[in-house]
Structure 1
């Protein structure tokens, strides 16, 4: 392959990383819907992380990846893992387990880009332009249109779930937001593959403790559960998370976080395909608004920033 063709291939590959990440990440809510009837949330996630570590550790040795240097970096990586993986996934799965609709959960967690952009300026010194703020607000409006079109206007907000489910989802929102900022601030020197191992180890310990203290730890190893677990381990916990780590390393935290605006619309499309859930016209319009917002938030940055 010539140098020019190789450069073009790299450009296409890098441009496609966000698209692939969104497609993979959005399947997490679908996986929760398939798997939670067969296992309690913390038990489910603990098994998922154990299986993931069994695959990742040999990969570190295979690719001869170095391990994080120094106990301080190990500690920072562990904290980011407990936030990005432990708090986020534990909160989402537990909220859905307690009865919150997956669509509403996705909508609330979809507030992350605005929260991240707001905090990135004082915490990381990232400057957010007016066009980026417009993009972030358009993205928020878009996900409200997409998922709001699927809610029953006559139903009470808390019908079918209580404050515990809402608190779980808000904990997930705080976890993924603070984890993204924390990793950008303190973990820039972490090796991608072995650093992910450390993150999963820390998150697995946190979720294992939750399963030990609050759950019966019983699992129905049905074919549906096994296939769901295989998908979540191979596609979500390995492929999608490595993409996320690479994206965080390449861009500002607020620009990476804006990709999460695309997750609820893509999740809605997957639910329509898998569960025959209708998507009204306002939902389709909302998807277009969301995509425009993401483009504005990701592509336009302050002058002088790389």
Structure 2
């Protein structure tokens, strides 16, 4: 990856790291499925009226919307609403890194380098350390729902990679059309029309701020950049950067919600960042010194017609 693309990947991790607290704030007043429908309604409209459809099959666009948007965030919003702490969610969701590499290897035939495998292993160890340090803050059900969200995200990553859409923004906007109607239907069944109406009537500043952050920051900016990177680079080069999201998420939850990381969580975050560096940063290659010119014999310039003494004709 170029330095510019590496910096863009880091920007995405910063945006997504704060996304968990933003979602948590909005879910205090709005049911999860209704809140997700509102988010992706504004991701799609009005931009879908002005942005051309991505140069990919309808099947690919629908699959990205189903797995990367509806599946991932539907399960994540559900997990957060039933007790998953935002900091821990930022950690567990990054299981998608390993899932993506495995699925890309099986479906796309991509093979990770030994450096990437070592980095992914280090990142996984870091995730485990953070999980141990975080403790039993969440019950088993929210944890499993978050792991399922990570698996859905990984499938969406591989579909986006296979589609190779040059415009990440068009894929984000058009795939968002898949989300609102199913979410509204689920909310109608689970929450009921009265609860939905009350939530919309009491839609306050906190919910509005959360919606703006998730729509503009996490979806339109974050996924536009991320899908563009996935289209230009192998999954094994892009996805490890997302291991930076848990430390950012833990720090944001600490500052905003008082979820204070302990020593093990800080150590785990450091190990994860080291894993990202190993998996994504290439070492400098040594440049071999140019061979010393071979002295030409006296008179060879005139006899061989090769120019000045000491120069060799390029082969």
TM-score range relative to shorter protein: 0.7 to 0.9
Shift of 1:55: 4.2
Q: Is 2:240–2:276's contact at 8 Å kept on the other side of the alignment?
A: yes
Counterpart in the other structure of 1:51:
42
Shift of 1:178: 0.8
For 1:13-92, what aligned pairs fall within 5 Å after superposition? 13-57=4-48, 60=51, 66-68=52-54, 73-92=57-76
For 1:135-154, what aligned pairs fall within 5 Å after superposition? 135-151=119-135
Q: Distance in 2 between matches of 1:34 and 1:130?
A: 41
Q: Distance in 1 between matches of 2:264 and 2:145?
A: 29
Identify if the C-alpha distance between structure 1 residues 275 and 101 changes in structure 2 by more than 3 Å, giving closer, same or farther: closer
> Which residue, 160, 164, 176 being the options, matches 1:183?
160
Counterpart in the other structure of 1:210:
186
Q: Is 2:53–2:171's contact at 8 Å kept on the other side of the alignment?
A: yes
Q: Distance in 1 between matches of 2:282 and 2:95?
A: 20
Which deviations, in whole Å up to 9, do the C-alpha atoms of 1:4-40 show, x marking residues without a partner?
Answer: xxxxxxx654331011000001122111210111111
Q: Is 1:22–1:259's contact at 8 Å kept on the other side of the alignment?
A: yes
Q: Distance in 1 between matches of 2:185 and 2:102?
A: 32
4+ residue runs of structure 1 moved beyond 4 angstroms?
A: none
Q: Is 2:22–2:214's contact at 8 Å kept on the other side of the alignment?
A: yes
Counterpart in the other structure of 2:116:
132
Shift of 1:264: 0.9
Shift of 1:95: 0.9
For 1:176-255, what aligned pairs fall within 5 Å after superposition? 176-185=153-162, 187-189=163-165, 191-216=167-192, 217-218=196-197, 219=199, 220-255=202-237
Which deviations, in whole Å up to 9, do the C-alpha atoms of 1:101-130 show, x marking residues without a partner?
Answer: 223333321211112212221211111122
Shift of 1:300: 5.0
Structure 2 unmatched ranges of 5 or more:
284-315
Q: Distance in 1 between matches of 2:231 and 2:217?
A: 20
SS at match of 1:38: coil
Radius of gyration: which is bigger?
2
Cα RMSD after superposing both structures: 2.3
Counterpart in the other structure of 2:78:
94
Structure 1 unmatched ranges of 5 or more:
1-10, 61-65, 302-306
Q: Distance in 1 between matches of 2:8 and 2:152?
A: 23
Q: Distance in 2 between matches of 1:287 and 1:37?
A: 28
Identify if the C-alpha distance between structure 1 residues 264 and 190 changes in structure 2 by more than 3 Å, giving closer, same or farther: same
Counterpart in the other structure of 1:108:
92
Structure with more relative contact order (C-alpha pairs < 8 Å, separation 6 or more): 1
Q: Distance in 1 between matches of 2:49 and 2:156?
A: 26
Counterpart in the other structure of 1:260:
242
Counterpart in the other structure of 2:263:
281
- Size of the alignment, in residue pairs? 277
Q: Is 2:116–2:278's contact at 8 Å kept on the other side of the alignment?
A: yes
Identify if the C-alpha distance between structure 1 residues 278 and 192 changes in structure 2 by more than 3 Å, giving closer, same or farther: closer
Q: Is 1:112–1:260's contact at 8 Å kept on the other side of the alignment?
A: no
**TM-score, length of structure 1 as denominator length:** 0.82
Which deviations, in whole Å up to 9, do the C-alpha atoms of 1:112-152 show, x marking residues without a partner?
Answer: 11122122212111111222111101111112323432325
SS at match of 1:51: helix
SS at match of 2:110: coil
Q: Is 1:91–1:169's contact at 8 Å kept on the other side of the alignment?
A: yes
